[in-house]
């Protein structure tokens, strides 16, 4: 099926406008219970999608029921033109099997092509009165892959979810500290929650495409959630570009109208990556993206990450030490002593972390002596 055939079935409305529920709410003192409930809609959708509870996006609420009192008028957001594909830093070697070149961009080069660094400052996190992270700080450089490693229960995934404000989906969860995207704190009350998640995407441990939606519509699902508009031709280009960047286009270009749930596990995970890339994030978070995949699919995902790192900053949680060595340029080792909150024991260049760690606990962990 061609792209023109695919778009004939397009369910999205060309005149879709950002609903008031996705706009910046007024200060808490001015929010009514109805307005508060409305502003939680997006959180509920994101949480359900993460848990795999939705087969399709829920139908939109009756516009007549949208609360509008005290909500500021905001002009609709239009999707900017898709950025051009970044050219390879070096061409693949004719004898190297097509492996992506291992080139690390410096800060100036990354900034020149619009890549963003992510910086956590004194992050502490609680579930109820239980402290799970204690004053964690970490720089995640632009244009690089940063791997978060450590045994289960040390706070890696909690830290990752704090980086795009998913931690606050848990009713008892609280946090302190700052998460800076290009120097701007995403927790600042002036910023909309939906913007933080648009700029900082997430790929979960279990592939979670909307199984009853087509591959084409899965890629575009994020546009509705973030209130972005795009014409038909722009959608076609966006679907193709996102699938190419996720390394899936050649495998699905002739079946874009088939359900996303019919793909293999590795293909579903790459479809989720394409869905995240479609809203043009500046940072992509990945929570053990290969833990449920076979070795062949894992290698494809890793190759995709290595190709993407020159287009988007990546932070990955992994329990696979070999994977951390293969794909990351920076690494952070999390550890939590019994009954104590998680902290970062050591962080820095991946090669140095695995070859000459500064802390004995890091040496023991990366060499499989515990964890």
pLDDT in tens, 157-170: 999 999 999 998 88
Task: Output the domain CATH number for residue 241.
Answer: 3.40.50.300
Domain for residue 46, yes or no?
no
Domain for residue 220, yes or no?
yes
Unique residue bearing structure tokens 């509870």: 53
* Cα–chain center distance at 227: 17
* Domain span including residue 348: 3-10+82-366
- Distance of CA 65 to CAs 36, 42, 61, 69, Å? 14, 16, 7, 12
Domain for residue 27, yes or no?
no
For the chain, the domain total comes to: 1
Domain for residue 18, yes or no?
no
CB 23 within 8 A of CB 72: yes
Domain for residue 71, yes or no?
no
The per-residue pLDDT for 156 is 95
Mean pLDDT of 330-345: 94
> Taken in order 71, 76, 81, 82, is the CA torsion positive or negative?
positive
Mean pLDDT of 133-148: 95
Phi and psi based region of residue 44 (left: phi greater than 0; alpha: psi -120 to 50; beta: remaining): alpha
Joined tokens for residue 77: 């957001």
Domain for residue 25, yes or no?
no
Domain for residue 124, yes or no?
yes
Percent of the chain with pLDDT over 90: 52
CB contact burial 34-45 (16+ within 10 A = b; e otherwise): ebeebbebbbeb
How many angstroms separate the CA atoms of 135 and 342, rounded? 9
How many angstroms separate the CA atoms of 31 and 35, rounded? 6
Domain for residue 53, yes or no?
no
Residue 347 has pLDDT above 50, yes or no: yes
Residue 121 has pLDDT above 90, yes or no: yes
pLDDT in tens, 34-78: 445 544 554 555 555 555 544 444 444 444 444 444 434 434 444
Q: Look up the pTM and report it.
A: 0.72
């Amino acid at each position: 099926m061609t792209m023109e055939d695919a778009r004939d079935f397009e369910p999205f409305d060309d005149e879709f406008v950002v609903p008031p529920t996705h706009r910046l709410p007024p200060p808490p003192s001015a929010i009514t219970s109805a307005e508060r409930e409305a502003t939680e809609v997006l959180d509920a959708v994101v949480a359900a999608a993460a848990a795999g509870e939705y087969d399709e996006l829920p139908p939109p609420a009756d516009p007549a029921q949208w609360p509008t009192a005290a909500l500021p008028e905001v002009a609709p957001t239009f999707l900017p033109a898709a950025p051009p594909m970044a050219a390879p830093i070096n061409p693949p070697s004719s004898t190297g099997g097509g492996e992506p070149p291992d080139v690390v961009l410096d800060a100036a080069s990354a900034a020149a092509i619009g890549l963003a660094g992510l910086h956590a400052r004194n992050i502490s996190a609680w579930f109820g009165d239980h402290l799970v992270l204690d004053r964690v700080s970490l720089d995640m450089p632009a244009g690089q892959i940063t791997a978060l490693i450590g045994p289960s229960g040390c706070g890696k995934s909690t830290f990752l979810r704090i980086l795009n404000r998913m931690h606050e989906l848990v009713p008892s969860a609280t946090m302190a500290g700052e998460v800076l995207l290009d120097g701007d704190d995403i927790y600042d009350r002036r910023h909309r929650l939906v913007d933080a998640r648009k700029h900082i995407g997430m790929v979960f441990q279990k592939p979670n495409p909307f199984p009853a939606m087509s591959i084409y519509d899965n890629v575009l699902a994020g546009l509705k959630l973030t209130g972005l508009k795009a014409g038909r031709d722009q959608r076609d280009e966006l679907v193709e570009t996102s699938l190419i960047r996720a390394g899936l286009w050649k495998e699905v270009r002739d079946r874009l109208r088939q359900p996303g749930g019919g793909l293999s596990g590795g293909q579903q995970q790459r479809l989720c990556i394409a869905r995240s890339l479609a809203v043009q994030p500046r940072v992509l978070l990945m929570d053990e993206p290969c833990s449920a995949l076979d070795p062949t699919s894992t290698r494809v995902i890793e190759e995709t990450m290595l190709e993407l790192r020159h287009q988007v900053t990546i932070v990955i949680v992994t329990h696979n030490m070999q994977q951390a060595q293969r794909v990351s340029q920076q690494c952070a080792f999390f550890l939590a002593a019994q009954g104590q909150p998680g902290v970062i024991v050591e962080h820095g260049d991946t090669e140095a972390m695995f070859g000459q760690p500064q802390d004995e606990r890091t040496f023991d962990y990366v060499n499989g002596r515990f964890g």
